[in-house]
Amino acid sequence: MQIVEFGTGNWTVYAVCSEPSTCAVIELIGELDAKRASAVLADLQRYVPSSMPHDWVKGDFSWKLRGSESILEFRWSTKGGGTPRVYWFFDANRIIVCSHGVNKKGKTDEADIRFAERTRNDYLEAKKFGQLNIVKYKDFVDPKDGELK
């Protein structure tokens, strides 16, 4: 399983790739307008790795989702349009793994929670068998335009 490293500090932030050249979190960022995309990327690369979970909760930036024991959500509130959300889970040694993201209004869909749970199970299985291939963000996207390579 390939995962992309977004940032590292107090925490290391990864995103799961469904294929060697496909990362749902990066695709979500690419679909957002420039201002929102910049905020999401900056938070995943710098804010989350350098801060602590109590900061995320205090700022209503993240919380555990109802209906799941292990899936949480980062959320970028906006006025108008959808709300970018990235679903994630904790791993050992201060690791955060993002499964995917959506840009939508309203409540979280049950299907997104179940998808994130399946991704978590797949990730843990790949980790158990030493099948994680970690790629740096800068090596995964084209540095000229931020698009997937």
Q: What is the CATH number of the domain that holds 75?
A: 3.30.2310.20
DSSP letter at 96 equals: E
Q: pLDDT at position 119, please?
A: 97
Name the residue type at position 131.
Answer: Q
Is 144 within a domain? Answer: no
Q: Which two tokens stand for residue 43?
A: 């938070």
Name the residue type at position 26.
Answer: I
Structural domain harbouring 133: 2-137
Is 68 within a domain? Answer: yes
Is 146 within a domain? Answer: no
Q: pLDDT at position 149, please?
A: 47
Is 149 within a domain? Answer: no
DSSP letter at 149 equals: -
Query: Whole-angstrom Cα distance, residue 91 to residue 107?
Result: 25
Number of domains in the chain: 1
Q: pLDDT at position 118, please?
A: 97
Q: pLDDT at position 25, please?
A: 96
Q: pLDDT at position 147, please?
A: 55
Which pLDDT tens digit goes with each residue over 10-43?
A: 999 999 998 878 899 999 999 999 999 999 999 9
Is 143 within a domain? Answer: no
Q: pLDDT at position 101, please?
A: 96
Q: Which two tokens stand for residue 115?
A: 């998808």
Q: pLDDT at position 19, please?
A: 82
Is 120 within a domain? Answer: yes
Alpha-carbon Rg of the chain, whole angstroms?
Answer: 14
Is 45 within a domain? Answer: yes
